[in-house]
Structure 1
Amino acid sequence: MSFGGKKFRSRKQQLAYEASLAGRYKRSLSKHPFLYFGLPFCATIALGSIWLSSFTAIKYERSDRKVQELNEEDILKMKNSQREFDIKEEYYRLQGLSEEDWEPVRVTRLKDESENVW
């Protein structure tokens, strides 16, 4: 059996509670729930969004500084500084064949290990 959330108050305590700010708010909240709960909640969300928009603006301004428009001089400098492309050279570089000559060496087996020869 569970007890309700309603707190027991004597008649004198109940009158004092109803006269207090909390009592008046509770009575108003039960009559007009959106006006006393929903509207302040929505206003807090909207004002928080407006206040936080300055922080998001800083984030996007920072990313905009990284991406800049190039002028013609910069493009010409980039084209002149590029190395020439040779497909064979790139193939060997990607294969790692140009680094050095090497030979595969068989790993020595343990005493009782099989050779796994098919």
Structure 2
Amino acid sequence: MGFGSRSFMGSKEKASYENSFVGKYQKLVKKNSFLYFGMPMMLSIALGSVLLTNFAALRYERRDEKVKEMSEDEALNMINNRRKVDINDEYYKLQGILEEHQDWEPKRVERLPGESENKW
């Protein structure tokens, strides 16, 4: 520590500082830092964790309320009313080849005169 890091206090200022709350607390922290600084810090972190857990639980409970449970009858109706799946139809849908394009055939592009055919 250099000379500029501490401000000079006279005896009256020092006595009033030591009698203040901050001065008394600083003296206690110097005696037993864990008991007066470490323990309150750890307790505040633990308390904050518990409180935040409760808030997060409320958030997820509200989200779960939006999702309703299905009865067996509703589930059976969903199973019975589903559409029949044909693998070829699904393939053509994915490829973009539908009824309006069923006559589509791949065609070789005609080459310009003098251009190679690039046949292997």
Q: Tell whether the structures are fold-level matches, with TM greater than 0.5.
A: yes
Residues 31 and 88 from structure 1, CA distance in 2 versus in 1: closer, same or farther, beyond 3 angstroms? same
Give 1:111's aligned residue.
Answer: none
**In the alignment, structure 1 residue 36 sits paired with structure 2 residue 36:** yes
Residues 32 and 100 (structure 1), Cα distance of their counterparts in 2 relative to 1, 3 Å cut: same
Q: Secondary structure at the match of 2:100?
A: coil
Deviation of the 1:82 alpha carbon: 0.5
TM-score by length of structure 1 reads: 0.73
Give me the whole-angstrom Cα distance separating, in 1, the residues matched to 2:92 and 2:67: 34
Alpha carbon RMSD of aligned pairs, Å?
2.7
**Runs of at least 4 residues off by over 6 Å:** none
Q: CA deviation at 1:7?
A: 2.4
Structural mapping, 1:76-115, within 5 Å: 76-98=76-98, 100-101=100-101
Offset of 1:3 from its aligned partner? Answer: 4.6
Unaligned runs of at least 5 residues, structure 1: 104-116
Q: State the identity %.
A: 47
Distance 2:58 2:2 in 1: 52
The one-letter code of the counterpart of 1:42 is M
In structure 1, what is the equivalent of residue 17 of structure 2? 17
Give the C-alpha shift of residue 4 in structure 1: 5.2
- The C-alpha deviation readout for 1:11-49, integer Å capped at 9, x for no partner, is 221122112111111111100101111111112112222
Shift of 1:2: 5.5
Rounded Cα–Cα distance in structure 2 between residues aligned with 1:15 and 1:4: 21
Gaps of 5+ in 2: 106-114
Inter-partner Cα distance in structure 2 for 1:10 and 1:27 = 18
Distance 1:99 1:19, change over 3 A: farther
Report the Cα distance in structure 1 between the residues aligned to 2:9 and 2:22, rounded to whole angstroms: 14
